[in-house]
Structure 1
Amino acid sequence: MNPAFAYRKERLHAEDVPLDDIAARYGTPCYVYSRSALEARYDAFSAAFAGQPVRVCYAVKANGNLAVLDVLARRGAGFDIVSGGELARVLAAGGDPRKVVFSGACKLDEEIRYALAQDIACFNVESEPELARLSELAVETGCEARIAIRVNPDVEAGGHRHISTGRREHKFGIALEDAGTLVVRAMTLPGLRLDGVACHIGSQMMGLEPLAAALDQLADFVRTLQSDNVPLRHVDAGGGLGIDHHGQVAPTPAEYARVVLDALGGLGIEIVLEPGRAIAGPAGLLLTRVAYVKQGHGRKFALVDAAMNDLLRPALYEAWHDILPVRAGAAPDAEPIDVVGPVCETGDFLGRDRSLAVRPGDLLAVADGGAYGFVMSSNYNARPRASEVMVAGTQTRLVRRRETVASLWHGETTFGEAEE
């Protein structure tokens, strides 16, 4: 648990605000973010690379709330996006488009046109068809597209298979043996300026050996291009650094920096980084309230008002999130219990076999919910999405209102209604 979330007199706080006060004011389920934790996590990366030509581009897909993006933009962050919608969010939050890199294997025409119009820093190109289409659209719009070629080093990041992106069988990037040919083509197509090369091997890395192996390959490729007088301006190391969870301790930003700089620091060009979870994950949590306690045959269940539509990661990745009582010591002795939600799926759980003492009405905090939490939520089972709150010291700010049931069908019509 991030130190911004701590017990004081047996009440769990977000900075200086008791979480049960937040629940009383804003209801549950509710995502709660700590501004100081966001700033501290970003600053840890900045400090780790102090004095080096490094640009930190926060991965918006981790948490795209405008308040989160605003905090990071004010800190000087760049942004890594994977859609036109994420670019629009960055701009709405005051982000600088010239600090934006556009990743993703399937950039659509309207997204490319929008990004070109905003003059973003770089497109990370992931295939030959994308390269050709980007050239066509740059010429059509009269813009220059600054690009990097994303290579795939065939290295396993070590996390869940669904968040690994650096193997041959994955849809991302271009095999290293094919990348040289694409570089030559990129330098001949109109409307393009080749600025760099990039890679990203996956997410939630708890060891740095895979990253070191991938970056060594990336550095060798850059040196080959430099020896051929290819005028590169940057190298993008991607993101993927994990966070502490389930007793595992993730590498620190300082340890991460040593690996990155050992591999890429001698190339003489700017280094771009794309951390997401490592910044936002520990800076947030999900508040939920126990509705029922059910004794089944061989298992006990805490049925809570948050569900897989609010926090998908446990069902999708079997991800572990610590689950803590908001009021410590207020219930009977702890025992193994499954924390599950109201969604009509057996896979709807937030945590299994947790040692908790709970009664109906108790509040629970699901830790490390700042990344891939609300941003992956849905309206499955016609459930309104949760509210989001940011805390700064003693102040709280509602940064997203809870959806209403009526809002769920906004824009829908019945078949019998006339079209407008």
Structure 2
Amino acid sequence: MSHSTPHFDYHNGVLHAETTALSTLAEVYGTPLYVYSKAALLSNFDAYASACGTRDALICYAMKANSNLAILDLLARRGAGFDIVSGGELLRVLAAGGDPGKVIFSGVGKSVADMRLALSHDILCFNVESIAELHRLNEVAGSMGKTARISLRVNPNVDAKTHPYIATGLKASKFGVAFDDALQTYRVAAALPHLAVTGIDCHIGSQLLDDAPLLAALDKLIELIDELALEGIVLHHLDIGGGLGIDYGEAGEAAPVPVDIYLGRLFRRIDQWRSARHDGVPIKVIFEPGRSIVGNVGVLLTTVEYLKKGEEKNFCIVDAAMNDLMRPALYQAWMGVHAVRPHSGETADLYDVVGPVCESGDWLAKDRILSAEAGDVLAITCAGAYGLTMASNYNTRGRAAEVIVDGDRVHLVREREQAADLFALERLIK
């Protein structure tokens, strides 16, 4: 088993999550099934916390990666804050017992209702992404008799060198305020009566394997913070975003920079800057990791329905589909595929692993050497991020169940949707 998915390994010829056999989970809960390791989750979060040490820092988990309440609860109890992009995500944080005072609200399209909800719960900060949003937030806060704490999401025009769908820091991106416009936008924000300018934010993309673009973005933020200070706009937090990638096990792909090395380099750069600045103004450092917290924490179990051999392609047809795991169809993402009970000494063949959804784009893996037969259970690895959160009910397919494994204990943390659940809110015309 690839090291890219810790706490998942083979014992006596069966793939386990911690000390629990995945074959048993498939039998008890059915498939498709998301399985998460509690130990892996906490280990990933602790890597960030340990690297921060005693510094004034806050790790705001980017919950769009995986928003299951049990995962949010475990992270909140570990001291995490949360990076949200909708009012619904804030309600999830509250339902999981998270602290709204540790919530950062990102996203380009915040509605009036979103703003009212967040202000009513006194969240830590809004990451504002346009002048139009500044004016709307000022009006909403004023109507509620409140002051909204804000930072600007600054777009540094740094190439994250990742898939174009998940690159967010270039001039062509819909996200953030252009670097060249940031100074004037901060001036506008500082003049609005119901806003309190408290920080600066940046997020250049996702699945970053090299920290050089992140450090380049940091240098541009530091430059802007110093310019703002000269105008009397003093910032109290620096949010460098998230985006660190994980090892999906793809052959030839570079290994991602380890969290401790990245944070070590980042903090050294910040220390050098603070030492040279001499103004004594403290600054909190905020991170928004998502995939690097949950990506390698989970697998998606799926059962082989049919093997279909053709003249040009062989297909391994499974019961999971693009509605369960969208990343391959959306990003052409590479996902690891492993048999839960590998067949020994049997002839393997080359297959595309595909689902039953009525789309040619419904595939989970292409050109994989597998020794499989109908009824076998496969594990799609590193499926903890952007799995269930991107899932849909296309073809009236219920979304998968989710379980968290804690050693030999198993917790069902989301029940499988049934067909009746999917049309319960629909009404016939009388």
TM-score range for the pair, normalised by the shorter chain length: over 0.9
Partner amino acid for 1:301?
A: F
1:87-166, aligned counterparts within 5 Å?
Answer: 87-166=90-169
What does the per-residue CA deviation read over 1:69-128, in whole Å, with 9 as the maximum and x for residues that have no partner?
011001000000000000000110010000000000110110100000000000000000
Work out which of the residue numbers 248, 265, 269 in structure 2 matches 1:263: 269
What is aligned with 1:40? 43
Per mean C-alpha deviation after superposition, the further-off stretch among 162-171 and 332-341 is: 332-341
Aligned to 1:280: 294
Q: Does residue 201 of structure 1 match 2:201?
A: no
| 1:330–1:362 distance in 2 versus 1, CA, 3 Å | farther
The equivalent of 2:382 in structure 1 is: 368
Q: State whether residues 125 and 131 of structure 1, in contact with CA within 8 Å, keep that contact through their aligned partners in structure 2.
A: yes
Contact in 1 for aligned 2:342/2:371 (Cα 8 Å)? no
The answer on whether the counterparts of 2:343 and 2:372 sit within 8 Å (CA) in structure 1 is no
| Alpha-carbon distance in 1 for matches of 2:391, 2:338 | 21
The alpha-carbon deviation at position 331 of structure 1 amounts to 7.0
Find the partner of 2:224 among 199, 221, 224: 221
Q: TM-score, normalised by structure 2?
A: 0.95
| Equivalent pair of 2:400/2:416 in contact (CA under 8 Å) | yes
State how far apart, in whole Å, the 1-side matches of 2:184 and 2:345 are.
65
Q: Match of 2:358?
A: 344
Among residues 404, 408, 418, which one is paired with 2:418 in the alignment? 404
Q: For residue 410 of structure 1, report the CA deviation from its aligned partner.
A: 1.0
SS at match of 1:69: helix
Cα separation, 2, equivalents of 1:91 and 1:325 = 38
Number of aligned positions between the proteins? 416
Identity of paired residues, percent?
A: 50
Q: What SS class does the counterpart of residue 86 from structure 1 fall into?
A: helix
- Give the CA deviation at 1:131: 0.2
Q: Distance in 1 between matches of 2:344 and 2:233?
A: 65
Equivalent residues of 1:58, 1:77 under 8 A apart: yes
Question: Which of the residues 316, 323, 327 maps onto 1:302?
Answer: 316
CA contact 1:331–1:358 (8 Å) conserved in 2: no
Q: Distance in 1 between matches of 2:171 and 2:211?
A: 20
Which deviates more, 249-258 or 119-128? 249-258
Gaps of 5+ in 1: none
| 1:414 alignment partner, SS class | coil
Question: 1:212 aligned to 2:226?
Answer: no
Tell me by how many angstroms 1:232 deviates.
Answer: 1.0
* Distance (whole Å) between structure 2 residues aligned to residue 56 and residue 210 of structure 1: 20
Partner of 2:34: 31
Shift of 1:328: 2.2
Alignment equivalent of 1:333, drawn from 342, 347, 350: 347
How far apart, CA to CA, are the structure 2 residues paired with 1:263 and 1:165? 23
Q: CA deviation at 1:188?
A: 1.1
Deviation (angstroms), 1:225: 1.5
Is 2:182 the partner of 1:176? Answer: no
Amino acid at match of 1:336: L
Question: Is structure 2 residue 20 aligned with structure 1 residue 17?
Answer: yes
User: Per-residue deviation at 1:261?
Assistant: 1.6
**What's the counterpart of residue 312 of structure 1?**
326
Query: Which residues in structure 2 correspond to 1:56-71 (within 5 Å)?
Result: 56-71=59-74
Separation in 1 of the partners of 2:108 and 2:310?
Answer: 45
Retained in 2: the 8 A contact 1:239–1:276? yes
Residue in 2 that maps onto 1:323: 337
Q: Tell me which amino acid in the other structure corresponds to 1:140.
A: S
Shift of 1:330: 4.7
Per-residue CA deviations over 1:347-391 (Å, capped at 9, x if unaligned) read 100000011111000000000110000100000011111000011
Q: Deviations over 1:19-46 (max 9, x none)?
A: 0000011000000011111000000011
Q: CA RMSD in A?
A: 1.1
Q: Which runs of 5+ in 2 are unaligned?
A: 275-281
1:369-388 aligned within 5 A: 369-388=383-402
Greater mean deviation of Cα atoms: 325-334 or 79-88: 325-334
- Candidates 400, 406, 421, aligned match of 1:392: 406
Contact 1:219 1:263 in 2 (8 A): no
